[in-house]
Amino acid sequence: MKKIKEILNYGFKNNYFLIIIGIFVSTTIGATIVMILEPKTFGSFFSAIWWAVVTMTTVGYGDIVPQNIVTRVVSFFVIFAGISFVSLFTATISSMFVARKIREGKGLEKINQFDHLIICGWNSSTENLIESILNIGKNENFSKITLINNLPEDEINNIIYKFKDAEIKFIRGDYTKEIVLKRSNIKEAKAVIILPNETTQLTDSDEKTLFATLTIKSISSKIPVIVFLENNENRVHLKRANADEIFVKNEYSGFILASSVLMPGVPQTISKLMDTTFGTTLVRKNIPKSYIKKTFKELSEYFREEEKAILIGIFNESEQIAFTELLSSDTSQLDAYIEKKLKMAGHSLGERNKMEVNLNPDDDYVIKEKDIAILINKS
């Protein structure tokens, strides 16, 4: 009984419920009155209901027409009630969709994307990152990206318009907060990339990246998290937080600058391979089962002949490392905090996958079952 009262109380506070009740009551009362006044014209109560619904929606088929004055007066009230309630119902439904669209535009609505890529944070290189993702993913029809940041609405709209062929969604808020991440349907995400915000101080950006990684892994330890750091000294903390891939700002700039002087042509080659619009780029490919247990030389000849691609290496995820190996020998408060968070998230401090890359192996290297090819290929 208490539950019924709660349902009714909720219903009477809900506009949709009240409108539907109004339509139902008007239809029933109108049908009952005309059935009493002209039983021969309407024949049955079902026919009277049919007439009331048709009249309220102003369709007016004319298959049943009231004959006397009193019944026609009742019809006027049924028509006016119908116009009022149906208009209210249509307006309410429309306002619901408009409100939802406005909330989506402001990044306040929960999204329902699946197998999407989430990008947390924003800086000057993010647009280039989105463009690269879409260029690399076009062969696999990948175009679902969710942005989590605090950019102004007009800037977000410009980004969405710029990449209008992609499925870009936006969530406004602090990506270190669990409630914000859950609005992005993070449990169903393909991966998460965390970028430092340009508006954040350098000392705080890596700290925020660490907190975000811990929060994401507490929601689901299976989601791959790729992070971008400002300071290389913070790499160890992100490893302890179980970040899957870690990149540091300007990590390879020294090599690029040095090789520009000492090995001209190498930086240009790297630039071409990293330019997703150039047409020749690095890709990964599954190895045909018929080449398992064959040599690297045989596989290289296959890719060169069949796909006009150059095989430069092999990688696999068969190697395992213990997570405890990443922790320092003297237990600090930070170590204890990270270990506690990981245990709360259901992480094992035992073993986890490690990616092993073998570039330019010997010709007689034997291809294993879990190996994946790395190729220079024309897109």
Q: Return the CATH number at 133.
A: 3.40.50.720
Q: Mean of the per-residue pLDDT values for the chain?
A: 80
Sign of CA dihedral 128, 133, 136, 138: negative
Give the residue-averaged pLDDT of 284-309.
91
Quick one: pLDDT at residue 86? 76
Between 326 and 221, whose confidence is greater? Answer: 221
190 in the same domain as 84: no
Q: Is the pLDDT of residue 128 over 70?
A: yes
Going by C-beta distance under 8 Å and a sequence separation of 6 or more, which residues neighbour residue 70?
37
pLDDT level of residue 350 (50, 70, 90 thresholds)? very low
Asked if the structure places residue 335 within a domain, the reply is yes
Residue 116's CB is within 10 A of a number of other CB atoms, namely 22
Query: Contact 188/113 with Cβ under 8 angstroms?
Result: yes
For the chain, give the percent of residues with pLDDT over 70.
78
Residue 358's CB is within 10 A of a number of other CB atoms, namely 14
Between 201 and 136, whose confidence is greater? Answer: 136
71, 90, 105 - which closes a domain = 105
Q: Which of 151-160, 199-208, 284-293, 324-333 has the lowest mean pLDDT?
A: 324-333
126 in the same domain as 69: no
Quick one: pLDDT at residue 200? 53
Give the residue-averaged pLDDT of 191-205.
77
Q: Is the pLDDT of residue 347 over 70?
A: no
- For residue 55, what is the domain's CATH number? 1.10.287.70
99 in the same domain as 126: no
230 in the same domain as 130: yes
230 in the same domain as 115: yes
Total domains, the chain: 3
Give the residue-averaged pLDDT of 245-259.
84
234 in the same domain as 140: yes
Between 214 and 100, whose confidence is greater? Answer: 214
Asked if the structure places residue 285 within a domain, the reply is yes
Q: Is the pLDDT of residue 351 over 50?
A: no
332 in the same domain as 283: yes
101 in the same domain as 114: no
Q: Token digits for 281?
A: 């780029």
Quick one: pLDDT at residue 101? 67
Q: Is the pLDDT of residue 201 over 80?
A: no
Between 21 and 299, whose confidence is greater? Answer: 299
pLDDT level of residue 321 (50, 70, 90 thresholds)? very low
215 in the same domain as 138: yes
For the chain, give the percent of residues with pLDDT over 90.
28
Asked if the structure places residue 269 within a domain, the reply is no
State which residues form the domain around 48.
Answer: 2-105
- For residue 298, what is the domain's CATH number? 3.30.70
91 in the same domain as 23: yes
pLDDT level of residue 329 (50, 70, 90 thresholds)? very low
Q: Which of 65-69, 204-208, 222-226, 260-264 has the lowest mean pLDDT?
A: 65-69
Strand order in the sheet with 351-359: 280-286, 372-378, 310-322, 351-359
Quick one: pLDDT at residue 6? 55
In DSSP terms, 283 is beta-bridged to: 375
Q: Is the pLDDT of residue 57 over 80?
A: no
Q: Is the pLDDT of residue 318 over 60?
A: no
Give the residue-averaged pLDDT of 289-305.
92
Asked if the structure places residue 270 within a domain, the reply is no
Asked if the structure places residue 271 within a domain, the reply is no
Asked if the structure places residue 372 within a domain, the reply is yes
pLDDT level of residue 13 (50, 70, 90 thresholds)? low
Quick one: pLDDT at residue 288? 92
pLDDT level of residue 364 (50, 70, 90 thresholds)? very high
Query: Contact 374/313 with Cβ under 8 angstroms?
Result: yes
Quick one: pLDDT at residue 298? 93
Asked if the structure places residue 263 within a domain, the reply is no
Going by C-beta distance under 8 Å and a sequence separation of 6 or more, which residues neighbour residue 189?
115, 116, 117, 118, 146, 223
pTM here is: 0.66
Asked if the structure places residue 203 within a domain, the reply is yes
pLDDT in tens, 163-181: 988 899 999 999 999 999 9
71, 105, 139 - which closes a domain = 105
Give the residue-averaged pLDDT of 205-229.
92
